[in-house]
């Protein structure tokens, strides 16, 4: 298959996968924010696939999505493909019809599918398509493809997987039709094949099919059916298949390749398909390091590699993998927090580890003119980001850290399945040591800071636990139980506070058969936890019999560890063996008062306002990129 190995004619095997950015103002058109995002990422990959383009205003997934539904979108898209081409990459247009997965919250959206059943995880009730609806959908794809070619795209990718319209026909879990588009797999694949065939006939540029190698649900379709399907795609002239997994309806963690699902499963599907059908495959799913890329080339002989969030976390990922850009890769943590979370919240795609992602015009740093000597106090995520940003701007920097670098984020990867989070701390420590920024292992006091010849001081001293004034609360724990050697077994544990830390502690405690009760004074638990992690954590706690009281507060604790609570009515629990307090954090910056008026200070991260990693890193970057 040698002559077949580069049917897309790319300069290398790396392709940027389509990721929703959510940067539109609601008109579906390209703006400066899109161009800035893709410009820095097009220097090295073989191709860039911008975010999924909607085919009809009534089929949007997010209100801020890019469109290809009308000729008025072509000039903006031409600007984008021109930019991508100027950097030596090809441009791939990803066309998707979401069917019943169009967003029910967007006014004017409509919903069609193979069925009249809504997705069981929420969603609108669709109309089961008749032949006229099908022709209309096919026409949307044809028009989208025509516009894509006119806008200068080199390749078209048609979404046939991930639980969207085509997959709603393919999947036995969804398609309950009795006509020639239902029942047997041959019938269920009829409409998806009609879609892709029409697109191939409509344009004379390569067409790629994106599929789920397996839906990862018992009653969905699986690899053996997809092997048959890919064999049907071949004679139609499909250039390559892009193989992912899951469905956005039932298995979002697979769809988003979240840290909670095993890495490499999608690679096996792609390898199987490539080997057994001879169709070139695009491998995708948590390709986050140089080691991953080498493994895919050597062990899997991958034709193409699609990289999504690793290129968000580090815009030079491809350049670093290809040895064209020096330096370490800033690691993607597979947490979905900044990317998916940012799009869902309406702010647009951001990134926990990369504060430059999605910057607005007014946030772009200006060059620094004077060189200063600056002390950074605290080497948590905010302090380390501050030091790197200041160093990059030419200042002389020294960091003071009384314990170890990483700060409280050293606790973040201790809960189950979160090991990938450690990579960002390792990355920062490596960068600081390679750039030879002094890391001084002692506590900075106001005397050192005033006599050390510093021009300015950045305080990144973090936050401390906030303890509620509960009568009788004497002995309590905070995050000690995240450490395996301190984790109790088969005990009664009360957790006061059901936020992120409280729920992660509960998740860890139930793994050693502890009986856990969580008391939260607000009306919901796990506020601020990323949506995929939240759903999976709450499901686990429910299965393990954790009792959760919301709208409830602890009013007192008696000598014998009986707990008095006040909720809808007052009641008593207990006795308990251990009490954990996880009622939030409060900023810690004692040096601010001491140094006030003596030296110029800046407060960043949790010391400024307790929040999450993304906020801390971003605040450090924003403050220090102005110094």
Residue 304 C-beta-side C-alpha neighbours within 13 Å: 30
Across 466-493, b (16+ Cβ under 10 Å) vs e yields eeeebeebeebbbbebbeeeebbeeebb
| Distance between CA atoms of residues 68 and 75, nearest Å | 11
| Distance between CA atoms of residues 30 and 200, nearest Å | 26
Residue 493, token pair as written in the block: 């544990």
Active site residue 181: no
* Closest to 616 measured CA to CA, from 405, 462, 424, 411: 462
* Closest to 458 measured CA to CA, from 517, 384, 361, 408: 384
* Closest to 316 measured CA to CA, from 19, 69, 43: 43
Across 367-388, b (16+ Cβ under 10 Å) vs e yields ebeeebebbbbbbbbbbbbbbb
Tell me if residue 399 falls in helix, strand or coil. strand
Residue 141, token pair as written in the block: 């794809």
| Distance between CA atoms of residues 286 and 225, nearest Å | 24
**CA gyration radius, the chain:** 27
Residue 618 C-beta-side C-alpha neighbours within 13 Å: 18
Q: How far is CA 205 from CA 8, 94, 153, 184, 224, in A?
A: 9, 13, 9, 32, 29
Tell me if residue 601 falls in helix, strand or coil. strand
Catalytic choice (38, 164, 181, 428): 164
- Chain centroid to Cα 165, Å, comes to 23
DSSP 330-381: PPP-S--TTHHHHHHHTS----SS-TTTT--GGGSPPPP-S--EEEEE--BH
**What does DSSP assign to residue 426?**
H
Cβ atoms of 294 and 300 within 8 Å: the answer is no
254-257's contacts with Cβ under 8 Å and 24+ in sequence apart are 254/216, 255/162, 255/163, 256/336, 256/340, 256/532, 257/284, 257/285, 257/286, 257/308, 257/309, 257/334
**What does DSSP assign to residue 457?**
E
* Burial environment of residue 263 by CB neighbours within 10 A (0 to 12, 13 to 18, 19 or more): middle
**What does DSSP assign to residue 511?**
G
| Distance between CA atoms of residues 504 and 513, nearest Å | 15
Phi and psi for 281 in degrees, rounded to 5? -115, 150
Strands 456-459 and 600-603: what pairing?
parallel
Which residues belong to the active site? 164
């Amino acid at each position: 298959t040698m002559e077949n190995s580069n049917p897309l004619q790319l300069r290398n095997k790396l392709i940027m996968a389509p990721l929703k950015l959510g940067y539109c103002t609601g008109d579906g058109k390209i703006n400066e924010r899109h161009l800035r995002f893709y410009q820095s990422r097009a220097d090295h990959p073989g191709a860039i696939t911008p975010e999924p383009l909607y085919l009809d205003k009534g089929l949007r997934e997010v209100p801020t999505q890019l469109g290809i539904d009308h000729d008025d979108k072509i000039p903006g898209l031409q600007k984008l493909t021109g930019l991508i081409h100027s950097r030596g990459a090809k441009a791939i247009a990803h066309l998707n019809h979401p069917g019943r997965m169009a967003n029910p919250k967007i006014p004017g959206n409509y919903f069609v599918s193979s069925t009249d059943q809504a997705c069981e995880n929420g969603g609108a009730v669709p109309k089961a398509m008749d032949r006229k609806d099908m022709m209309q959908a096919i026409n949307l794809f044809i028009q989208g493809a025509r516009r894509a070619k006119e806008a200068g795209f080199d390749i078209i990718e048609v979404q046939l997987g991930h639980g969207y319209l085509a997959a709603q026909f393919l999947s036995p879990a969804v398609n309950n039709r009795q006509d020639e588009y239902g029942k047997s797999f041959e019938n269920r694949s009829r409409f998806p094949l009609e879609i892709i065939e029409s697109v191939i006939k409509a344009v004379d540029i390569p067409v790629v099919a994106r599929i789920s190698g397996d839906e990862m649900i018992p009653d969905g379709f699986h690899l053996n059916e997809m092997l048959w399907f890919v064999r049907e795609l071949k004679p139609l002239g499909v250039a390559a298949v892009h193989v992912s997994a899951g469905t956005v309806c039932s298995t979002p963690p697979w769809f988003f390749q979240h840290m909670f699902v095993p890495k490499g499963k999608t690679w096996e599907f792609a390898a199987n398909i490539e080997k057994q059908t001879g169709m070139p495959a695009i491998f995708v799913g948590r390709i986050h390091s140089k080691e991953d890329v080498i493994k895919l080339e050597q062990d899997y002989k991958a034709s193409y590699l699609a990289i999504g969030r690793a290129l968000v976390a580090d815009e030079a990922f491809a350049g670093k993998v290809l040895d064209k850009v020096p330096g370490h890769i800033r690691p993607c943590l597979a947490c979905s927090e900044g990317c998916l979370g940012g799009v869902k919240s309406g702010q647009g795609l951001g990134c926990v580890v990369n504060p430059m992602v999605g910057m607005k015009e007014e946030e772009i740093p200006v060059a620094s003119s004077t060189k200063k000597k600056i002390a950074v106090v605290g080497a948590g995520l905010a302090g380390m980001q501050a030091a790197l940003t200041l160093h990059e701007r030419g200042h002389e920097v020294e960091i003071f850290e009384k314990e170890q670098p990483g700060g409280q984020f050293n606790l973040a990867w201790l809960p189950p399945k979160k090991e990938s989070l450690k990579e960002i701390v390792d990355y920062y420590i490596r960068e600081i040591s390679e750039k030879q920024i002094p890391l001084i292992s002692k506590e900075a006091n106001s005397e050192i800071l005033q006599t050390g010849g510093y021009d300015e001081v950045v305080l990144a001293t973090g936050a401390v636990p906030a303890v509620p004034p509960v009568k009788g609360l004497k002995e309590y724990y905070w995050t000690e139980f995240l450490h395996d050697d301190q984790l109790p077994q088969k005990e009664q544990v009360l957790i006061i506070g059901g936020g992120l830390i409280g729920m992660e502690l509960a998740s860890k405690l139930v793994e050693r058969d502890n009986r856990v009760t969580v008391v939260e004074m607000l009306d919901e638990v796990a506020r601020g936890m990323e949506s995929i992690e939240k759903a999976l954590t709450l499901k686990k706690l429910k299965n393990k019999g954790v009792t959760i009281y919301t709208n409830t507060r602890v009013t007192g604790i008696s000598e014998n560890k009986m707990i008095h609570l006040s909720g809808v009515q007052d009641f008593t629990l207990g006795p308990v063996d251990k009490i954990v307090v996880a009622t939030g954090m409060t900023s810690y910056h004692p040096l601010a008062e001491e140094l006030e008026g003596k030296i110029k200070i800046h407060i960043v991260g949790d010391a400024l306002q307790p929040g999450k990693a993304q906020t801390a890193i971003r605040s450090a970057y924003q403050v220090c990129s102005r110094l």
